[in-house]
């Protein structure tokens, strides 16, 4: 509202966070209004659930990581017979 004196009100319906700022001084007069239970849909994650999620994620990503390792090492093709190390004389 454009009033600088007196009282006024605003009705919020529903649940959520409403931001506000003054038109006269938006940097000096701003804030938020929390309406209702905004954390009602937040769920706690236990350590066991987090560990299970990490294990499944590692299981799904490990083939990809191994493929990247092979690509970086250049081992996607088998070595030639000439690349096999020859035994040293006297061994």
- pLDDT tens digit at each of 91 positions of the chain: 566 677 777 788 878 888 888 777 767 788 888 888 777 777 888 999 999 999 999 999 999 998 888 888 875 566 666 655 666 666 5
Q: What is the pLDDT of residue 42?
A: 77
Q: Report the alpha-carbon distance of residue 83 to residue 12 in Å, rounded.
A: 76
Q: What is the pLDDT of residue 80?
A: 64
Q: What is the pLDDT of residue 50?
A: 93
Q: What is the pLDDT of residue 61?
A: 92
Q: What is the pLDDT of residue 78?
A: 63
Q: Report the sign of the C-alpha dihedral through residues 85, 87, 89, 91, in that order.
A: positive
């Amino acid at each position: 509202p454009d009033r600088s004196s007196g009282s006024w009100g605003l009705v919020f319906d529903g649940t959520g966070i409403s931001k506000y700022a003054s038109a006269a001084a938006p940097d000096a007069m701003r804030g938020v209004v929390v309406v209702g239970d905004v954390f009602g849909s937040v769920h706690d994650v236990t350590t066991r659930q987090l560990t299970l999620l990490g294990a499944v994620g590692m299981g799904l990503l490990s083939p990809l990581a191994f493929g990247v390792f092979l690509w970086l090492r250049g081992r996607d093709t088998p070595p030639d017979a000439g690349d096999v190390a020859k035994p040293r004389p006297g061994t």
